[in-house]
Structure 1
Amino acid sequence: MEKTKLSYLQIHPKDNVLVALRDLPVGFTIEFAGEHFELIDAVAAKHKFTISKLAKDEEVYMYGVLVGKVNHDVERGALIHVENLRHASDDFRLGKRNLNWLKPDVSQYKDRTFLGYHRKNGQVGTANYWLVIPLVFCESRNVATLKNALEEKLGYQVESKDYADEVDVMISKFKQGASVDELLNVDLSAAKDNKSRNRLFENVDGVKFLNHEMGCGGTRLDSDSLCGLLAGYITHPNVAGATVLSLGCQHAQASILRDEIQKRDPHFEKPLYIFEQQFEGTEQGLMQKAIKATFAGLSLANQDTRKEASLDKLCIGLECGGSDGFSGISANPALGYVSDILVSLGGSVILSEFPELCGVEQELSDRCQDEATADRFMSLMKTYNAKAEADGSGFYMNPSPGNIRDGLITDAIKSAGAAKKGGTSPVVAVKDYPELANGPGLNLLCTPGNDVESTTAEVGSGANIVLFTTGLGTPTGNPIAPVIKVSSNTKIYEKMNDIIDINCGTIIDGEETIEEAAHRILDYVITVASGQQLAKAVVLGQDDFIPWRRGVSL
């Protein structure tokens, strides 16, 4: 059956605005609910317009939930924008459990496997990395020195372009006396790519260096949380072992790190080498010991090989960044369907970014498997928003200028679409940063909406793959877990296909259903988890790592 591309869409029967799926001019005729009316404003794709006249302070609904109130009377067929709509969302309270959900057909996946790295604690990694970690920012220089010493020699330099050849061309033109205009118009298309080196350790995907600016000088809560996060990375199934550099006197003590490791893996057996500079003495002595230990650890890690694993060993982090007005109707619900498939198979998913769940708290709390879980979710949401309000920046201030420009004009609109990544299955656990959140089923993890902080947290909490939706294009990744980018619209995919892996604009274009896109995404996830395909963030070396300071970050 041939699919038809629509011009506009009502997302939920309760909604009193429609979404433009393409640019609609003034006077365009809308046919809705048996009636015809004309647009009184031009409405760009991704933006919304009214289907009836709205009086001042009347409520606006999208995705079936309250997303705002109008600031003044708004005529039928008018564009909704920041001048006539303000953020509003419903209150939430402990309600009845709503655990009924329609499980998807997973027959085609029940016997599927991926090739992963089996760890002694039963977890399975989608990659095999060695970590080098500073416990405090004072050791960042030593970590950078280790990176310079090890990365190229071991064959782990990023294989994408480093643009040094382009700079050589420009230097040559400058020395030849080229003018400013000539320099601006130099043809760099012939510049060569970096050449990859052969890896010494074939079964180790890389040595990753988790630099940060924390560990001392901040609150004890932040340093303790840092130790928990780093413990999450060290015990992660994608990690074979770690070298840790400590100064010795900082808040983030090695003993705290060890305690956090034991919390996450009581029978921890991976090679772990911790060196304290104030104990070791000279920098040379410290560095030589770190190099020897890292090399020995890599030789152990190189003994690991990929073996078959069932799909319930996947733990997928669900993330969005650079969202647009199509995210909630294409890429995010496609991830939601992937989530439901994986949960049905016994796998794990993590939904985070609590500032972007504002307005859907009631639905999510009702989906929590028991009242204690629901209470924890509501408590974390209220505490986080109260802290943001106290600092003059509540959840309502979450949408970025790019979000607003592309149709997400209130936090509730953004949140209602973002929550679609979590599918429809019950919430089995609610975790606070940086706790583990990798139990079978849908896990909620309290993190900021900040893309990199949230992705960093999801991986630290157990995600061995991250699915990251974007409508505007976001160049980010993670040091140890593949981050697969999924676009909400075809235009941005075609424009930025060097950083985006999968296009879900096919849903908007009428070429594919949400279910069909979800199957395509999961098939791709399996190839990436097996090491048969590299996510573009991995190819580009987008190793973004930002721990969350427990202040306000939206």
Structure 2
Amino acid sequence: MKHLVAKIHPHDNVLVALQDLPAGTTIPWEDGAIKTVAAIPAKHKLALQDFQVGDSVTMYGVLVGKVREAIPQGGLLTTSNIKHATNSYDEHGAHRASWPVPNVEKWQDRTFMGYHRADGQVGTANYWLVIPLVFCENRNIQVLEEALVHDLGYGRKKSYQPQTQELIQLMQAGKSVEEILQADLQTALNQHQKPRLFPNVDGVRFLTHEGGCGGIRQDAQTLCGLLAGYITHPNVAGATVLSLGCQNAQVSMLQDEIRKRDANFSKPLYILEQQKIGTEESLVSTALRQTFAGLMQANALQRQPAPLSKLCIGLECGGSDGFSGISANPAVGHVSDMLVALGGSVILAEFPELNGVEQELVDRSVDKETAERFSSLMKAYSDSAVAVGSGFDMNPSPGNIRDGLLTDAMKSAGAARKGGSSPVVAVLDYPEPVTKPGLNLLCTPGNDVESTTAEVGSGANVVLFTTGLGTPTGNPIAPVVKISTNTPLAKRMPDIIDLNTGTIIDGEETIEQAGERILDYVIRVASGEEVAAVRHGQTDFIPWKRGVSL
């Protein structure tokens, strides 16, 4: 049965409205009742007590704000009457060794069907990459894409071109602007797609970007590290790399970054330098021959059983809402804990969205060095944001605020629940790779695509992406599973949502039950089942330029 409100933690002094509550609604609570003194929209927070100016607002058991205007019991919390606030933290922490390990007996013998690589990693997909080392090569990358994608059977399936043709016909028939705006156009058609020439290759991905030259030399080094992470990724069979020749991101720099990640790198890798080869025609023709030969090699690979310990899951949220922290995020947190218990790896990123929960993560760190590195990276990131006139407190988007996430601390406390309760085994600075099983913290922005791009570059072979507002975000090489925090979103945008955890809000399912359902789906996706983002051809790729993004 669906309840009216939820109290997330015993120490909280606010409640979350699980449905729209008109002013004057009586809410049975403990030995009495609370009456709303204002309309409380679903996902928003109401005061459990009378608040005075300067009082602390607590959610998830942590400080998430301070009161700046008095709020009566049953009143609505807004950006006008509360402001962002967090507690300070001790970077040395308590380093708790024990944690409530979930029972994973039923999952111990489960496997997924993946692509086994020479370095021991296992991919959930099998892609070929075509990458520019510098933005000057983006056009040549696009030329290669036009030459390869359709004839190899990797073209987009849906076309809206028939609707354009219909609009042209209406205009030629003399229809007015008003009639054009009201026209009932036919549903977009699926284009005829050729069968894949290489059935064991999931696709050819073209990773254009705006980096590689200009900026500072550290930008080039970081970009090469990220690209090396994609080239050595278990979901990648090999790559074609185009270099201009004179840019900051030199071929030798990329090769060094590849060796850092895999000293015995043996995948097919073709690197072409335009200033050495000469004409565009020579460059493109050579790249086509080499890429085609690489695809022939990649197609020889087949899926084989692999233990769940070979999964590395990225944990991401975007378009978050007031339900994210009580449905999808804790359900994903349960998946995280189950996978860690099974010997797998998980990545919790988005450092601006860990603001206010630092002490918990410090206390969960396995040793002093891990805790201190987390603290150091958090402080450096926060300082860099302040230096350009911003700060973590400016992280929530207009959509976040509209749907109940009023402060960054409130957003962060819910976002951190994706990481479950297992120990923090490593803290990584972007774009370092995951090398340890367990929960890894990765320094990235809160920006959805930059963070997802980074998590995959660090080794995530599946990404669990929770959303309360809806986003089509995907990734070029890793399946991004879109998980709705609420049932109305799942019904409104079924074309981009893979799973719905609004069932928790609706009282139909527990967090643990939803987590098990998600893990079962992850196993199917890791074995080749297509997610919505892949069906839509959503292949977002944005490298992070340090210090300019929240």
With structure 1 as the length reference, what TM-score do the two structures score? 0.98
Partner of 2:546: 550
Amino acid at match of 1:414: K
Per-residue CA shift, 1:438-464, capped at 9, x if unaligned?
A: 521000000000000000000000000
Amino acid at match of 1:440: P
Mean CA deviation greater in 349-358 or 99-108: 99-108
Distance in 1 (alpha carbons) for counterparts of 2:356 and 2:146: 47
Query: How many Å apart are 1:19 and its aligned residue?
Result: 0.4
- The answer as to 2:18 corresponding to 1:5 is no
SS state at 1:477 partner: coil
Partner of 2:159: 162
Partner of 2:111: 113
Mean CA deviation greater in 90-99 or 64-73: 90-99
Of residues 354, 357, 367, the one that matches 1:357 is 354
- The answer as to 2:21 corresponding to 1:24 is yes
SS state at 1:444 partner: strand
- Sort the Cα spacing of 1:190 and 1:459 in 2 relative to 1 into closer, same or farther, 3 A: closer
- 1:358-377 → structure 2 map (5 Å cutoff): 358-377=355-374
- 1:343-422 → structure 2 map (5 Å cutoff): 343-422=340-419
Mean CA deviation greater in 318-327 or 217-226: 217-226
SS state at 2:265 partner: coil
- 1:476-491 → structure 2 map (5 Å cutoff): 476-491=473-488
SS state at 1:479 partner: coil
Query: How many Å apart are 1:9 and its aligned residue?
Result: 0.7
Partner of 1:217: 214
Q: Is the 8 A contact 1:349 1:438 kept in 2?
A: no
Of residues 282, 286, 300, the one that matches 2:283 is 286
Distance in 2 (alpha carbons) for counterparts of 1:477 and 1:261: 24
Q: Is the 8 A contact 2:200 2:298 kept in 1?
A: yes
- Sort the Cα spacing of 1:47 and 1:191 in 2 relative to 1 into closer, same or farther, 3 A: closer
- The answer as to 2:436 corresponding to 1:439 is yes
Query: How many Å apart are 1:481 and its aligned residue?
Result: 0.2
- 1:128-147 → structure 2 map (5 Å cutoff): 128-147=126-145
Distance in 1 (alpha carbons) for counterparts of 2:239 and 2:187: 40
Amino acid at match of 2:477: I
Distance in 1 (alpha carbons) for counterparts of 2:270 and 2:57: 57
Amino acid at match of 1:88: A
- The answer as to 2:258 corresponding to 1:261 is yes
Distance in 1 (alpha carbons) for counterparts of 2:187 and 2:320: 35
Query: How many Å apart are 1:474 and its aligned residue?
Result: 0.8
Partner of 1:536: 532
Of residues 81, 90, 95, the one that matches 2:93 is 95
Partner of 1:318: 315
- The answer as to 2:73 corresponding to 1:83 is no
Per-residue CA shift, 1:220-245, capped at 9, x if unaligned?
A: 11111000000000000000000000
Mean CA deviation greater in 282-291 or 237-246: 282-291
* Structure 2 residues not aligned, in runs of 5+: none
- The answer as to 2:333 corresponding to 1:336 is yes
Q: Is the 8 A contact 1:146 1:287 kept in 2?
A: yes
Of residues 491, 494, 507, the one that matches 1:494 is 491
Query: How many Å apart are 1:27 and its aligned residue?
Result: 0.9
Query: How many Å apart are 1:190 and its aligned residue?
Result: 4.7
- 1:505-544 → structure 2 map (5 Å cutoff): 505-531=502-528, 533-544=529-540
Per-residue CA shift, 1:146-168, capped at 9, x if unaligned?
A: 00000001111122x12111111
- Sort the Cα spacing of 1:190 and 1:344 in 2 relative to 1 into closer, same or farther, 3 A: closer
Per-residue CA shift, 1:403-454, capped at 9, x if unaligned?
A: 0000000000000000000000000000000000252100000000000000
Distance in 2 (alpha carbons) for counterparts of 1:289 and 1:339: 44
Distance in 2 (alpha carbons) for counterparts of 1:377 and 1:553: 19
Distance in 2 (alpha carbons) for counterparts of 1:547 and 1:34: 54
Query: How many Å apart are 1:191 and its aligned residue?
Result: 4.7
Q: Is the 8 A contact 1:350 1:438 kept in 2?
A: no
Query: How many Å apart are 1:256 and its aligned residue?
Result: 0.3
Query: How many Å apart are 1:32 and its aligned residue?
Result: 2.2
Amino acid at match of 1:118: H
Mean CA deviation greater in 403-412 or 217-226: 217-226
Give aligned pairs, total.
549
Q: Is the 8 A contact 2:4 2:27 kept in 1?
A: no
Distance in 2 (alpha carbons) for counterparts of 1:38 and 1:305: 62
Of residues 182, 188, 192, the one that matches 2:189 is 192
SS state at 1:442 partner: strand
Of residues 99, 120, 123, the one that matches 2:121 is 123
Of residues 53, 69, 73, the one that matches 1:56 is 53
Distance in 1 (alpha carbons) for counterparts of 2:194 and 2:175: 35
Distance in 1 (alpha carbons) for counterparts of 2:24 and 2:367: 51
Of residues 32, 35, 39, the one that matches 2:36 is 39
What is the RMSD computed on CA atoms of the aligned residues? 0.8
With structure 2 as the length reference, what TM-score do the two structures score? 0.99
Distance in 2 (alpha carbons) for counterparts of 1:489 and 1:36: 27
Distance in 2 (alpha carbons) for counterparts of 1:487 and 1:436: 28
Q: Is the 8 A contact 1:11 1:62 kept in 2?
A: yes
Mean CA deviation greater in 370-379 or 70-79: 70-79
Q: Is the 8 A contact 2:381 2:547 kept in 1?
A: no
Distance in 2 (alpha carbons) for counterparts of 1:449 and 1:162: 32
Distance in 2 (alpha carbons) for counterparts of 1:398 and 1:438: 30
Distance in 2 (alpha carbons) for counterparts of 1:38 and 1:185: 46
- Sort the Cα spacing of 1:76 and 1:190 in 2 relative to 1 into closer, same or farther, 3 A: closer
Distance in 2 (alpha carbons) for counterparts of 1:342 and 1:470: 21
* Structure 1 residues not aligned, in runs of 5+: none
